[in-house]
A and B are shown apart, each in its own frame.
Chain A
Amino acid sequence: MTVSLRLPHALVPYARGSSTLAVEAPCATVGEALATVAARWPAVTDRILTEQGVVRRHVNVFVGNESIRFLDGLATPLSHGDTITIVAAVSGG
C-alpha cells in the first residue's frame, strides 16, 4: 500500500528538500501513516503533531479534498493511492 504525504513549503527543509513523501507501508489510518513518516522524518511530524500526538491547532490535514476534522481525525481510514496534504491554517496576525 502506498499513500502520499504532501508538505507545505515550511516543512520541506525537515524532509531534506522533498515536498512529497511516499509512505509505502501498511497504514490503515492517517495516524498510522504519520507514525510511519515519524520513524524516518521525526522533524516533520513534530511540526504537525504535538508531543501528545494531537494535530496542532493551526494545522490542517486533508485526505483528498476533505479535512480530517470533518472525517474521523487521525482515525480517518486510508486507501491505496490516497494523498494526505498538510496545510497551514489561515490564521495569524
Chain B
Amino acid sequence: MPTRHPPGTVLVLVGTTKGAFILSSSAERGEWTVDGPHFPGQSVYAVAYDERGGRTRTLMASWSNHWGSTIRLSDDDGATWTGPERQAVRFPESSGLALAQVWQIAPGYADEPGVVWAGVEPAALFKSSDGGESWAAVDGLLQHEHRPRWMPGGGGLCLHTIVRDPVNRDRMGIAISTAGFYRTDDGGATWQARNQGVRAVFLPNKYPEFGQCVHKVVSHPARPERLFLQNHWGLYRSDNWGDDWQDIANGVPSDFGFAMQMHPHDPDTVYIVPIQSDEFRVVPDARMRVYRTRDAGASWHALTDGLPQHDAFECVLRDAMAADACERAGLYVGTRGGKVFASADEGDSWRTIADALPPVCCVKTAVVGAR
C-alpha cells in the first residue's frame, strides 16, 4: 500500500493497457518508486491529479473490455479508490449514445475546485461540478450540427484534448479525432470548427471546414491566443486561438505524430515525438528522438542523449508525454513498448525510469503541494 507523498514529491501517473502506475521521486528526480498496477487488467487512458479545494485527489478512468468505463477517485494517493458504483459518465437516453471510453480528464480553474472536465468517446465533453463524482454532458457540443458527419479515427471517435483560456473563461477548445478542432466563446453553448489551414490528407478536399484528424493541441497560459497542433500529418501553430493555422514542420524527420507537450514555463518551447508514418507507427529510423523547438516552431532540434538510437521501434501515443512544473522542467515520455523515459533538464538528457510496463496510453505529472 503506498504511503502519502510528502510535499515536493514529483509524481508521474502512467496509464497503460493493463492498469495504472504511480511513479514518485523527490524533487531531484533521481530515484523513482513504482507503485501499481492500479486496476490490473483494465486500460487507463485518462488520469489527473487535483489539489484544489483542500483535497488531494487522483482521478483515473479505468476501462474494462467487458464491463465498461468508470472514473475512479482516490483521496489518499491511490491507497484506496472510490467512485460512484453507478457509471457516472452517462449519455442521456435521448442521445442514443453510450460511453465507450474516457480519453481525457482536466481539472478546471483553481478557484472553482469542483469543476472537472472529461473528454470521451463517442466524442463528447462532460462536466463535473463535484470533483468528479457526477457528470453531465455539455449539450452544445452533444447537439452539434456537424456530429452526424464526424468519422471515427483508428482509436474511435474520441474527444481527447481540452484547451482552456486562463483569462477568457467563456473560451475553450477541444479536439476530436476525426472531426478537428472546435472552439466555444460562450461557455460551451455553441462551438465553431477552427481548422483553417489544417490538412486532411485522407479526404478528397484537403482543407475542409472540419473532418481533420487532430491528434493533440497545446497552449501556454502566458500566451493563451497561441496554440500548437500535432495533426495526422502536419504540425501547426495558430496565433489567434485557432482562427487559422500555419505549417511549422521545420526540420522534423516526419510531421506525423501524436504527442505534443508545452514547456511549463516557456511559451516558445514545445516538445513532439515524430512518428515515421501513419502506416508504420514507430519513431523514424528506429531512433527514439524527442524534438524541441525553443522558437515557437521556427526550428526543431532532436534530443537524443540517453534515448535509444538504434532498433527502437517505439511509438508514443497522443497523451503519453508530460512535463512537470519543477523549476527546471522535467519531461516524461511513455511508449507502447512499455518504457518511460525521463529528463530532469528540459529534455537535454534522458534516462529510463520504467522499462517493462504494459503499453503506455497516457502520462501526467504533479508536484505534490505545488498548487
Residues of chain A whose beta carbon lies under 8 Å from any beta carbon of chain B:
10-11, 14, 42-43, 46-47, 50-52, 54, 56, 58-59, 88-89, 91-93
| Chain B residues within 8 Å of A91, by CB | 65-66
Instruction: Knowing A47-B68, A56-B68, say if A14 contacts B85 (CB, 8 Å).
Output: yes
| Chain A residues within 8 Å of B67, by CB | 10-11, 47, 56, 59, 88
Interface size class of B (residues with CB under 8 A): 10 to 19
Whether B54 is near chain A, meaning CB under 8 Å from some CB there, is: no
Identify which of B17, B65, B85 contacts A43 (C-beta below 8 A): B85
Q: Please give the distance in Å from A62's CB to the nearest CB on chain B.
A: 15
Return 15 A-B CB contacts under 8 Å, by A number. A10-B66, A14-B85, A46-B86, A47-B64, A47-B68, A50-B99, A51-B87, A51-B90, A51-B91, A52-B91, A56-B66, A56-B68, A58-B65, A88-B66, A92-B65
Q: Please give the distance in Å from A28's CB to the nearest CB on chain B.
A: 22
Instruction: Knowing A10-B66, A59-B67, say if A42 contacts B86 (CB, 8 Å).
Output: yes
Residue of B whose beta carbon sits closest to that of A88: B66
Whether B79 is near chain A, meaning CB under 8 Å from some CB there, is: no
Does A51 lie within 8 Å of B65, measured CB to CB?
Answer: no
Whether B97 is near chain A, meaning CB under 8 Å from some CB there, is: yes
| Chain B residues within 8 Å of A46, by CB | 68, 85-87
Q: Please give the distance in Å from B224's CB to the nearest CB on chain A.
A: 35
Instruction: Knowing A43-B85, A43-B86, A46-B86, say if A52 contacts B96 (CB, 8 Å).
Output: yes
Q: Please give the distance in Å from B357's CB to the nearest CB on chain A.
A: 16
Q: Please give the distance in Å from A20's CB to the nearest CB on chain B.
A: 18
Instruction: Knowing A51-B93, A51-B98, say if A58 contacts B86 (CB, 8 Å).
Output: no
Q: Tell me the residues in window 53-98 of chain B with beta carbons closer than 8 Å to chain A beta carbons.
A: 64-68, 85-87, 90-91, 93, 96-98
| Chain A residues within 8 Å of B97, by CB | 52
| Chain A residues within 8 Å of B17, by CB | 93
Instruction: Knowing A43-B85, A43-B86, A46-B86, say if A52 contacts B68 (CB, 8 Å).
Output: no
Give the residue among A47, A51, A52, A54 with the most B Cβ atoms within 10 A: A51
Give A14 to B85 CA distance when docked, in angstroms. 7
| Chain A residues within 8 Å of B96, by CB | 52
| Chain B residues within 8 Å of A10, by CB | 64, 66-67
Give A14 to B70 CA distance when docked, in angstroms. 13
Does A50 lie within 8 Å of B68, measured CB to CB?
Answer: yes
Identify which of B64, B85, B86, B93 contacts A52 (C-beta below 8 A): B93
Known: A52-B97, A56-B66, A56-B68. 17 other contacts (CB 8 A): A42-B85, A43-B85, A47-B64, A47-B68, A50-B68, A50-B99, A51-B91, A51-B93, A52-B91, A52-B93, A52-B96, A52-B98, A56-B67, A58-B66, A59-B67, A91-B65, A93-B17
Does A51 lie within 8 Å of B99, measured CB to CB?
Answer: yes
| Chain A residues within 8 Å of B68, by CB | 46-47, 50, 56
Does B86 lie within 8 Å of A50, measured CB to CB?
Answer: no
Does A89 lie within 8 Å of B86, measured CB to CB?
Answer: no
Give A89 to B65 CA distance when docked, in angstroms. 9
Give A59 to B173 CA distance when docked, in angstroms. 36
| Chain B residues within 8 Å of A50, by CB | 68, 98-99
Give A88 to B41 CA distance when docked, in angstroms. 14
Give A52 to B68 CA distance when docked, in angstroms. 13
| Chain A residues within 8 Å of B65, by CB | 58, 91-92
Give A68 to B84 CA distance when docked, in angstroms. 29
Give A50 to B66 CA distance when docked, in angstroms. 11
Does A59 lie within 8 Å of B86, measured CB to CB?
Answer: no
Give A50 to B17 CA distance when docked, in angstroms. 22
Q: B88-121 CB contact bits vs A (8 Å, 1 = yes)?
A: 0011010011110000000000000000000000
| Chain A residues within 8 Å of B99, by CB | 50-51
Give A28 to B346 CA distance when docked, in angstroms. 65
